[in-house]
Structure 1
Amino acid sequence: MNTHPRTTPAALADAADNRPDRLAIADGDTRLTFAQVHAYVRDFAAALVARGLEPGARVAIWSPNTYHWEIAALGVHWAGGVVVPINTRYTGNEAADIVERVNAAALVVVGDFLGADRYAQFREAAPDLTVSTVVRVPVSGNDTPAQGVLDWDDFLAAATDTSRTEADARAAAVGPDDIADILFTSGTTGKSKGVLSAQRQTIGVAQAWTECAELTADDNYLIINPFFHTFGYKAGIVAALLAGATVIPMAVFDVEKVMAMVSAERISVLPGAPTIYQNILDHPRRSDYDLSNLRLAVTGAAPVPVSLVERMQNELNFDAVITAYGQTEAVVATMCRTDDDPVTVSNSSGRATADFEVRIGDNDEILLRGPNVMLGYLDDPEATAKTIDADGWLHTGDVGTLDERGYLDITDRLKDMYISNGFNVYPAEVEAALLSMPGVHEVAVIGVPDERAGEVGRAFVVPLDGSSPTEDDVIAYSKEKLANFKRPRSVRFVDHLPRNPSGKVLKNVLREEKS
């Protein structure tokens, strides 16, 4: 009999009851036990209720990895709402598009962060878009809320005994099949798609990740992966909640700060892209830090050489290094196990987990089926039907093979997506943005190898007759329209794009360009 909680409110209540005094979050000077997180979340939920949030309403969170994100997300669920994470690298236009499409009842937005005022960008992009409640997350301490924006503490002060009682009733009423979150993933049509997941699915994939990673209440989990991504949110916050592990969030990646935090916080679990471990291994001051408590690394999103796995185990003393595979529509579908050897870890993405079935379909496409496949795309039944077939198989667009043990090796992509700095980039979205640039007639974007980022974009541009845009012009325009990781880093001007008889651009021909 499955005794695991099946909603995040139930998981939080369980943690507060069974390990009230265990440290749940360690974010700088802010240290919160599970009992304190529970109380904090109740206040956040009660404040939402007091501000008029209805059950099922959507709340967007546009903020980096700090304790505020976890409190806000769990608070939205406690109030019976739906969490809508927004990528912190998005422009004001991209964020406003999501807020408008989900009809967000509230927006939790960081104040001054990395030298930018996200809310000012949002307002500039959509001056007429109304959001009834906007809450500012104080990160720098140097900024004050804009007019109509509630400071974090002032917002929490709106909680009352009456609204807490109502929030508690809503939390108890949240069911496994209720929508938990809408995570946006760019699509090959050039328009981002909102992936709908139920509470049972958000819990289900997190529970599976917890079991494969052998996460326990003794673990200190440094979460570098962004909370707006499934890795940081579901395999991070929710997994730690289920296991009783301590979350140590990191808002901005810096290799020396990572080593300092691993030492100071006695970090045992450190997931991330392969470049994170390579940077640590190659750092000239690595020996200055005590990294001896490291136990588990979970990686993926880029090839992992056998030599890197061996160095991680031998030089960083990881007990286990495991790889995983998933996408927003499935979160985590396969994982290695902690006793897998370095060759298996390097050459595969593990075997099925989270009750997934995995098979190889036509054109060697990876197909997934199981209870944790997304419910569908927001307001897009046509795209949903194209992605999930009548038999319930999710068509991933990735190409791979399964060995006799059921271990999956991802060999290519049917889609044109590439991964830059750990983020998925869909060329059609970049192309759509660049086609709006004056002087551009046609454009095609591909990913090209980059030593630091893995891959970066290269745009092939056909100018309009009589126009002569420069590479700097195209890159400057992309900065106005696109998040940093989506922007092409190089531009090639061509007279025409190579096409097949049906008119489809032959990107394989473009990839053969050497210069």
Structure 2
Amino acid sequence: MRNQGLGSWPARRARSRPHRTALISAHGTVTYAALFARVTRLAHALRRLGVRRGDRVAYLGPNAPSLVETMFAAHTLGAVFAPLNTRLAAPEVGYQLDDCGASVLVYAAGSAGVVEDLTTAPELVAAGGGADDVHDYEDMLRAASTVPIDEPVSHDDDAFILYTSGTTGRPKGATLTHGNVIWNCLNTLVETDLAGDEVALISAPLFHVAALNMSLLPTLLKGGGAVLMAAWNPETCLDLVERHRVTWMFGVPTMFADLTRSPRWETADLSSVRFLMTGGAPAPVSLIHTYQDRGLRFLQGFGVTEAAPGALLLDAEMSTVKVGSAGVAHFFNDVRVVRPDSTDTDVDEPGEILIQGPTVMRGYWRRPDATAEVLSADGWLRTGDVGRVDEDGYVYVIDRLKDMYISGGENVYPAEVEARLLEHHAVAECAVIGVPDEKWGEVGRAFVRTRPGMSADEDELIAFLGGRLARYKIPKSVRLVDDLPRTGSGKIHKASLR
């Protein structure tokens, strides 16, 4: 095959394991042979809509076979896939579509309202019903050819644009090549010993790099099956594990905490589960012990979107010895913790975590300045996270250089929230920080100074952000203040607020 990228995987798996199950969802079961056929038809349909090599194809919707098919069809054509966060408001989706220059947007029925509110949009394809002037996903597939497509695609070609917000308040598109993702899959296979008969529960959303590149794609590479969960629900999760004999899953700590609060936690049949993997936020030690007491192997990791994402992994064998550690570098990657002058820190000395290896992104989409800020000339990626290394080489993530906080596994950047708050007529200035929350890990708290002679209460300001920001970005509390603390240079001093 001339296609050496991800788009060739359905064909390669169909020739070796055609009758094995690839995808399981509420829509039914899809074998590798059927997946290859549907991906081929969709690639032809997208080509008829004008999609060509290097073009961007976006998807907006929950975990579903249509998302996986759209991804592989785009890659079959040598196009770039951009999965969008379903929790974003229409202006946020519109910005990302414009920024990446998407030629086509495929969207699920549940996202129709957001799509209708877009001021401008690319060619639209509705997966699950849409307006009369929108292409229907299944109709397109039925009318398309089944002749295989073998577009030349190399490991150096762009595969994904995954949006991650920045401290300027505007999301940046991390551009991952096929090689970045393939090497990340290899790291995952090496570190976790995934087998060819795995049944992975894809419970985290596939617009997140971890669910996509640490869970779905490694499983499909090995020829296992993926159970696609459209929305998180702990009871549904336990049902799916029992029904499909799930062998492993990835989730953020809040998801695993939800499971332990289920009345079925002690009695659910989890005998099929070989291991669990968590990331996106530090896992509380008590949570780790809860799973270990249940007899389950619980793996912790650390990564960033810009590294596709795996960087560190603490395996189950060391999870009780190195409690709280994010582990050591993945097999084909290297990790350093450095001082501001880029020299390596001493044992237990805090510093910034850097990553180097074949999984590190090409750069941010059309943002050379932003790329230069995080990527050194010799390929070391600055993560903006502070860590320390113990005497055995295990890394502990202890803080963040940026003001970002993590709420339920989602990165929230205060500058973006502050920019929206300042659109309110009564807000003179504001600052947003993350504060501890028992359920979500952290939630936002806004400190607001109103304009002279004007007023606004907490409920009004929170309601104002509805529809302007994704719900997880909206602060859960607002404190009205007469003034905000400042540094000597006049900047708001967030450490004082914390």
Note the residue ranges of structure 2 that are not aligned, 5 or more in a row: 341-350
1:20 to 18, 21, 32: 18
Q: CA deviation at 1:27?
A: 1.0
Match of 1:219 in 2: 198
Q: 1:29 to 1:279 in 2, by over 3 A?
A: same
Give the SS at the match of 1:271: strand
Q: CA deviation at 1:473?
A: 1.4
Match of 1:310 in 2: 289
Q: 1:68 to 1:196 in 2, by over 3 A?
A: same
Q: Deviations over 1:3-33 (max 9, x none)?
A: xx95212333322222222111111351111
Q: Whole-Å Cα distance in 1 between the matches of residues 321 and 224 of structure 2? A: 29
Match of 2:94 in 1: 96
Q: CA deviation at 1:469?
A: 1.2
CA contact (8 A) 1:306 1:343 kept: no
Match of 2:242 in 1: 263
Q: Which amino acid aligns with 2:122?
A: V
Match of 2:116 in 1: 123
Match of 1:169 in 2: 150
Q: Whole-Å Cα distance in 2 between the matches of residues 441 and 448 of structure 1? A: 22
Q: Whole-Å Cα distance in 2 between the matches of residues 94 and 470 of structure 1? A: 25
Q: Whole-Å Cα distance in 1 between the matches of residues 104 and 17 of structure 2? A: 31
Match of 1:419 in 2: 406
Whether 1:274 and 2:237 are equivalent positions in the alignment is: no
CA contact (8 A) 1:50 1:160 kept: no
CA contact (8 A) 2:191 2:331 kept: no
Q: How many residues align?
A: 485
Q: 1:405 to 1:34 in 2, by over 3 A?
A: farther
Q: Which amino acid aligns with 1:332?
A: G
Match of 1:141 in 2: none
Q: Which amino acid aligns with 1:284?
A: P
CA contact (8 A) 2:335 2:355 kept: yes
Q: Which amino acid aligns with 1:189?
A: T
Whether 1:69 and 2:67 are equivalent positions in the alignment is: yes
Q: CA deviation at 1:213?
A: 1.8
Q: CA deviation at 1:370?
A: 1.7
CA RMSD of aligned residues (A): 1.7
Q: Whole-Å Cα distance in 1 between the matches of residues 335 and 33 of structure 2? A: 39
Q: Whole-Å Cα distance in 2 between the matches of residues 482 and 276 of structure 1? A: 22
Q: Whole-Å Cα distance in 2 between the matches of residues 67 and 354 of structure 1? A: 31
Match of 2:132 in 1: 147
1:480 to 456, 467, 478: 467
CA contact (8 A) 2:211 2:250 kept: no
CA contact (8 A) 1:24 1:37 kept: yes
Whether 1:326 and 2:315 are equivalent positions in the alignment is: no
Note the residue ranges of structure 1 that are not aligned, 5 or more in a row: 139-143
Match of 2:28 in 1: 30
Which segment drifts farther, 456-465 or 13-22?
Answer: 13-22
Which segment drifts farther, 249-258 or 211-220?
Answer: 211-220
Match of 2:7 in 1: 9
1:337 to 315, 320, 327: 315
Q: Whole-Å Cα distance in 1 between the matches of residues 208 and 466 of structure 2? A: 22
Q: Which amino acid aligns with 1:479?
A: G
CA contact (8 A) 1:6 1:204 kept: no
Whether 1:135 and 2:125 are equivalent positions in the alignment is: yes
Q: Which amino acid aligns with 1:434?
A: L
CA contact (8 A) 2:8 2:76 kept: no
Q: CA deviation at 1:71?
A: 0.9
Q: Whole-Å Cα distance in 2 between the matches of residues 360 and 29 of structure 1? A: 46
Give the SS at the match of 1:41: helix
CA contact (8 A) 2:112 2:130 kept: no
Q: Whole-Å Cα distance in 2 between the matches of residues 341 and 86 of structure 1? A: 34
Give the SS at the match of 1:97: helix
Q: Which aligned pairs between 1:111-510 and structure 2 lie closer than 5 A? A: 111=109, 113=110, 118-126=111-119, 129-132=120-123, 134-138=124-128, 144-160=129-145, 164-165=147-148, 168-170=149-151, 173-287=152-266, 289-315=268-294, 317-318=295-296, 320-330=297-307, 331-344=309-322, 346-353=323-330, 355-362=332-339, 364-510=351-497
Q: Whole-Å Cα distance in 1 between the matches of residues 467 and 26 of structure 2? A: 34
Q: Whole-Å Cα distance in 2 between the matches of residues 137 and 213 of structure 1? A: 34
Q: CA deviation at 1:210?
A: 2.5
Counting aligned pairs with the same residue, the percent is 39
Q: TM-score, normalised by structure 1?
A: 0.91
Which segment drifts farther, 266-275 or 249-258?
Answer: 266-275
Q: Which amino acid aligns with 1:18?
A: S
Give the SS at the match of 1:181: strand
Q: Which amino acid aligns with 1:304?
A: A
